[in-house]
A and B are shown apart, each in its own frame.
Chain A
Amino acid sequence: MSFASTTRIPVSGLTKHIGALGKAREFGILVALALVVTAATAKNPAFLFSPDGWRDLLLTPSILVLVAVGQAFVIITRNVDLSVGSVMGLSAYLTGRLFIDVPGIPIPVVVVLAVLFGAVLGLINGALVAFARVPAMVITLGTLYAYRGINVMWAGSSRVNASDMPREFLALGTGQILWIPVLSIVAVLVLAAAAWYMRNTRGGREYYAIGSDPAAAELYGLAVTRRVLTAFILSGALAGLAGVFYAARYGSVSSQAGAGWELDAVGAAVIGGVAITGGVGTVWGAAIGAVLLMTINRALPILGIPDFWQRAVVGVLIIGAIVLDRWLAVRQRQRLIEARDES
């Protein structure tokens, strides 16, 4: 093996192939999504072709898309945020309380306050993870319970009802612009901004670097602590915005709003190709994963699959996605190493 030739790796074809693999991943889930929608529509045309069906198809995943995008930020840095369900629930309740306690408060102010509130909760997570150097899994499991506890303490057995909130606010939850729900438009705008940020800015690329090899990131002199902190703040802020969406969409917020959403968010990101070990994946993938997850939940009853199996299908999907990722990673590694040996 001579080294002069080692440097001349014939990778142009290989690189294309690998790039295509990444795209294939998002394309793959899109195909899966199309299959689910087609099957459900074949069984019951109203799934897609009724005004309600169409609206639900776009509207239902919008809230999870926001949370999953936030989750993707955090997972890409090789961390995880298990508190997003509690943050969302608490923000949703705050939204309702603001309308009740401050009569006549403008809607934009409420939205901003709820997002800031979520960001502060995310800041607490991030500070504990980044400064105390405790694994994110443990910290956010703790805050999952803590934030939920605060919510229960605050709300007690009472709940915020649709009648407590202004009609214009609730209209946002169901309103449409040209057959497209307002909430979906906002979710797509947020998603596009997040994707642009992750792809085109130093900050975004540094998230990938940190997740890819935290030790190397320190050697590069990257601001690891600050970036990790920011990822958690963003995740919290997006969960806060999702809380506003939740209140507007469902019109009723109890102390248990958003319970279990953290697992849906992690699941959506993983199904969408975000590697749980960090450094790999896109927010687009996580968003499509969220849409697939929610759409499957709605399609399975239509296809006549019993309730119990619906959860199992989601489980199979997550395990399948992880196995597929692992297999692709091993195969790519093998191929790169063999390309090196052959040269």
Chain B
Amino acid sequence: MPDVAAPVVLELSKVVKSFGAVVALRSGSLRLHAGSIHALIGENGAGKSTLVKIVAGLYRRDGGSFQLAGEDVDFTSTAQSKAAGVAVIYQEPTLFPDLTVTENIFMGRQPVGRFGRIDRKAMRHEVERLFTRLGVTIDPDRPAEGLSIADQQVIEIAKAVSLDASVLIMDEPTAALSGVEVERLFAIARSLRDEGRGLIFISHRFDEVFALCDTVTVMRDGAYISTTPIADTTPADLVRQMVGRDVTELFPKQETTIGAPLLEVEHLTSPGIFHDISFTVRAGEIVGLAGLVGAGRSEVARAVFGVDGYREGTVSMKGKRIARSRPTDAMRAGIALVPEDRRKQGLVIESGVGRNITTAIRRQLSRFGLLTTGMENRAAREWASRLEVKAHALDTVAATLSGGNQQKVVLAKWLATQPDVLIIDEPTRGIDVGTKSEVHRLLSELAGQGMGILMISSELPEVLGMADRVLVMREGRITAEIDRADATSENVMFAATHATTDGGHRS
């Protein structure tokens, strides 16, 4: 139980942050007491990470108040936040691949002796002490390059512990850890709490929240919902507060008849990235590929489409093998890939809408190798209007569009190739609610017309609402395959976080 009399170490009240037209945080509030472990929960996109990044000094808030140990603060850099005693362990570890583990832990604050000489012996000694305390056996002299996510996470934790911070924020630190490692982390977290530090623990796993934390704050759609002592609440209560709406209504998937297999992937392996990936996408079917960030889902998609190579396995389309590392081959066979990062990989951001839409069909459009703007615009106009892209003109630069409209342009580009299988990576990341449901309706219609869709998504409600079948990946392997009827957020999350296949039946 948090000691109510204990001083408040961190307090955020009605904090606002937006990026252009997208409001990431409408009203974020949080009060953290010393000697407490405070859970921060909410769906993806609820604003937790934005809130954390404001505390970390990575973003500056647009409004609201932010106090550390009772004093108003306004961090403009991560260095300031660190100096004020805030340590953050990010969801995706950020290490220097070329430097050793030891250097990674101490970068920027190495112990120095005479003439500013780094005291390597002291540094080494300290690392050994830290690793003994954390119970890990990573070679401190190896480079960070090639470490597993679990090991990278451990190094992040060691970094934060050695920082001696008064506020420690952990953004899903257990996502990639095994049971033993989670227990070890919890033991450390409790001992840090007993030393009088305040900890914020972001997690999707309720069992962990209830086992570790004493207070819980729920966020939804960028706003504060509630703060309750953990003893006074139940997982069912929390889920209700987190979701706050009926999941199935927002994600309409039409009933379709599922046809013949289109895309068949067998035993795809790329050492260190993914292992033994097998699945089938049939006509008229939406297959959801769920899992945590870093589970290797996008990498599988890239390998299937031929952007990256793979060592073993086969990819075939309607029974015909597709050569590895040949995106043009995959395109010809009728596969399209809408990538996760549309600004970098999906669009020529400085080009117009029309040019972007025709990018993948220039060869078909051209006459005798020549292409006129007229020909391009005719083709582009058709797709732009079909997808209701909101742009002033076909030569409007893609960079100026909203996220949702950019996504429509990328979709139009690939639909223009008239694919049989559409692989779409995070279809609605960073786009507003209205356009989100438009994208969902579109995907559903496409499936209705007999297209096979592989949808990678980190948003559980989206996966549960849209997919006919859910594949779950964890650390480069498929850990579960669950039918629409059996899929629940619990069994999908379980498969995404546990090595065993208990979360669902494996076909």
User: A residues touching B (Cβ–Cβ < 8 Å)?
Assistant: 1-4, 6-9, 11-12, 14-15, 18-19, 200-203, 205-206, 208-209, 211-213, 215-223, 279-280, 332-341
Known: A6-B151, A11-B139. A333 touches B146 (CB 8 A): yes
Q: Are B78 and A219 in contact (CB under 8 A)?
A: yes
B400 at interface, CB cutoff 8 A: no
B257 to chain A: which residues have CB within 8 Å?
A: none
Closest to A197 in B: B116
Candidates B82, B94, B150, B273; contact of A6 at CB < 8 Å: B150
Q: How close is A25's CB to chain B, nearest CB, in angstroms?
A: 14
Q: Are B82 and A221 in contact (CB under 8 A)?
A: yes
How many Å lie between the Cα of A40 and that of B198 in the bound state?
A: 70
Interface positions, chain B 319-360, Cβ under 8 Å from A, are none
Q: Are A216 and B94 in contact (CB under 8 A)?
A: yes
How many Å lie between the Cα of A202 and that of B94 in the bound state?
A: 19
How many Å lie between the Cα of A279 and that of B104 in the bound state?
A: 13
How many Å lie between the Cα of A11 and that of B142 in the bound state?
A: 7
Q: Are B99 and A206 in contact (CB under 8 A)?
A: no
How many Å lie between the Cα of A74 and that of B447 in the bound state?
A: 53
Name 19 extra pairs, CB < 8 A, besides A209-B107, A212-B99.
A1-B499, A4-B178, A6-B148, A7-B151, A9-B138, A11-B139, A200-B116, A200-B117, A208-B98, A209-B108, A221-B77, A221-B82, A222-B107, A222-B108, A279-B96, A333-B146, A334-B271, A337-B146, A341-B275
Q: Are A205 and B107 in contact (CB under 8 A)?
A: yes
15 contacts between A and B (CB under 8 A): A2-B178, A7-B136, A7-B150, A15-B139, A202-B109, A206-B108, A213-B95, A279-B97, A279-B99, A332-B145, A333-B145, A333-B146, A336-B145, A341-B272, A341-B275
Q: Are B146 and A336 in contact (CB under 8 A)?
A: yes
Q: Are A9 and B90 in contact (CB under 8 A)?
A: no
Closest to B111 in A: A202
A205 to chain B: which residues have CB within 8 Å?
A: 99, 103, 107, 110, 118
The prevalent SS among residues of A at the interface is helix
Q: How close is B275's CB to chain A, nearest CB, in angstroms?
A: 8
B273 to chain A: which residues have CB within 8 Å?
A: 337
Q: Closest 7 interchain pairs by CB?
A: A336-B146, A337-B272, A221-B79, A3-B178, A212-B96, A221-B78, A279-B98
Number of interface residues of B (CB under 8 A): 49
Q: Are B96 and A216 in contact (CB under 8 A)?
A: yes
Q: Are B96 and A208 in contact (CB under 8 A)?
A: yes
B141 at interface, CB cutoff 8 A: yes
Q: How close is B68's CB to chain A, nearest CB, in angstroms?
A: 16
Q: Are A202 and B142 in contact (CB under 8 A)?
A: no
Known: A202-B118, A216-B94. A338 touches B271 (CB 8 A): yes
Candidates B79, B151, B180; contact of A222 at CB < 8 Å: B79
How many Å lie between the Cα of A312 and that of B366 in the bound state?
A: 42
Q: Are A340 and B148 in contact (CB under 8 A)?
A: yes
Closest to B82 in A: A221
Q: How close is B455's CB to chain A, nearest CB, in angstroms?
A: 27
Looking at B58, B81, B118, which has the most chain A CB atoms within 10 Å of its CB? B118
B165 at interface, CB cutoff 8 A: no
B147 at interface, CB cutoff 8 A: yes
Per-residue 0/1 for B475-494: is the Cβ within 8 Å of any A Cβ (1 yes, 0 no)?
Answer: 10000000000000000000
Q: Are B180 and A3 in contact (CB under 8 A)?
A: yes
B172 at interface, CB cutoff 8 A: no
Q: How close is A22's CB to chain B, nearest CB, in angstroms?
A: 10
Per-residue 0/1 for B132-143: is the Cβ within 8 Å of any A Cβ (1 yes, 0 no)?
Answer: 000011110111
B214 at interface, CB cutoff 8 A: no
Q: How close is B33's CB to chain A, nearest CB, in angstroms?
A: 26
A220 to chain B: which residues have CB within 8 Å?
A: 78, 94, 107-108
Q: How close is B428's CB to chain A, nearest CB, in angstroms?
A: 25
A338 to chain B: which residues have CB within 8 Å?
A: 271-272
Candidates A200, A213, A340, A341; contact of B97 at CB < 8 Å: A213
B177 at interface, CB cutoff 8 A: yes
Q: How close is A79's CB to chain B, nearest CB, in angstroms?
A: 16
How many Å lie between the Cα of A213 and that of B145 in the bound state?
A: 12
How many Å lie between the Cα of A54 and that of B454 in the bound state?
A: 70
Q: Are B143 and A8 in contact (CB under 8 A)?
A: no
B150 to chain A: which residues have CB within 8 Å?
A: 3, 6-7
